Amino acid sequence: MRIVVASGKGGTGKTTVATSLALSAGESSVRFIDCDVEAPNAALFLHPMLDTRKAVGIQLPVVDEALCTHCGRCAEVCEFHAIAVIGKKILIFPQLCHGCGSCTLICPEKAISERLDVMGVLESGMTATGVDFAQGVMNVGEPMAVPIIRELKKWDGLSLRAPAKQSPNESGGLLPEGRNDTIEIRDAPPGASCPVVETMRGADFILLVTEPTPFGLHDLKQVVGIARELGIPSGVVINRDGIGDNAVEAYCAEAGLPILMRIPMERYIAEGVAQGKTLVDIHPEYKDRFRQMFMQIASLL
Ligand code: SF4
Ligand code: SF4
């Protein structure tokens, strides 16, 4: 079961929910993927031993001028205008290149090879509680997060390490009978643009963390729009419940979005999170609430 925790904007408690969800899965095998590659911070709460790393980026074309006949086919096939043929010159614009490989494939002279343009690093390791953790860290100044998130999602640095656990029904795990897959939790980047879409792609459920304010409602609507576009069911966690108004609640009722949890606005929760504690560290009773939420999500799929 793959659950994306998203919020549309930063500072709503998305990572607080995602990390506590991971720590509440009991005996089920859990993977946690921090897809907020521009500013990953879930490791500050889960404390994994990061012992595996891999450079990541896109394959940029390199043209062998000795073989090139300047036919122009590579420039024609490039929908991003990242390669141009001007007379007897070939120009490559790395900032525009998406590393799709079409130019390499189409070149009739085999004049194009590829080199990895490193955009960041993938890191993984286990936490003390047995969560298989991975994050992507994008180099400062890189324009595109999506290629890093895409690689992170399919990185086998995760599955190579994942401990073989019993099926959930033998182990008292959380998934319903017949479902013995790993629970994968993806912490999404803030916003409602391409990195969020890439994080959501292939997920089974989107958990939307919001707060009951006009800003919260505005951003919630945006991410609900993406989840619906992708055809993925979703539910809502209202954080800082008690502030603002009831417009989020009214919207959820109207849009048919189940409210799966409410976390009240409490000063001691905010202080604990600021000290790097997870919600279930601060308030152990929440483990049961998160476990119930897992089961509710499984029943919605
Ligand atoms: S397709 Fe190959 S041969 Fe043609 S212009 Fe591009 S690099 Fe040169
Ligand atoms: S790899 Fe794709 S995006 Fe990059 S120059 Fe070639 S065709 Fe264009």
* pLDDT tens by residue, 247-281: 999 999 999 999 999 998 888 888 888 888 899 98
Q: Is 159 helix (H, G, I), strand (E, B) or coil?
A: helix
Which whole number is the average pLDDT over 152-167? Answer: 60
Please give the DSSP secondary-structure letter assigned to residue 112.
E
C-alpha 263 – ligand 1 centre gap (Å)? 59
Gap from CA of 104 to ligand 1 centroid (Å): 9
- In terms of Cβ atoms closer than 10 Å to its own Cβ (0-12, 13-18, 19+), residue 141 is exposed
Please report the pLDDT score of residue 174 as a whole number.
56
Give the span between the Cα atoms of 132 and 157, in whole angstroms. Answer: 10
30-69 confidence digits (pLDDT tens):
999 999 999 999 999 999 999 999 999 999 999 999 999 9
Residues in the ligand 2 pocket, defined by CB under 6 Å: 61, 77-78, 80, 82-83, 97-103
Per-residue tokens: 283: 């308030």
Report, as an integer, the average pLDDT of 159-179.
48
Ligand 1 center–CA 74 separation, angstroms: 6
- Distance between CA 273 and CA 276 in Å, rounded? 5
For residue 90, give every residue at least 6 positions away whose Cβ sits within 8 Å of its Cβ, in sequence order, or none: 63, 65, 68, 70, 74, 83, 84
Give the pLDDT confidence score for residue 106 in this predicted structure.
97
> Going by CA atoms, what residue is nearest to atom 4 of ligand 1?
71
CB of 15 closer than 8 Å to CB of 185: no
Predicted local distance difference test score (pLDDT) of residue 131: 92
Render the burial of 72-87: b for 16+ CB within 10 Å, e for the rest: ebbbeebeeebbebee
pTM here is 0.83
Ligand 1 pocket residue status of 74, Cβ below 6 Å? yes
Backbone φ/ψ region at 79: left (φ over 0), alpha (ψ -120 to 50), beta: alpha
**pLDDT one-digit tens code per residue, 113-130:** 999 999 999 999 999 989
pLDDT-derived band at 18 (thresholds 50, 70, 90) equals very high
Cβ pair 94, 41 in contact under 8 A = no
Q: Over 90: is that where the pLDDT of 135 sits? A: yes
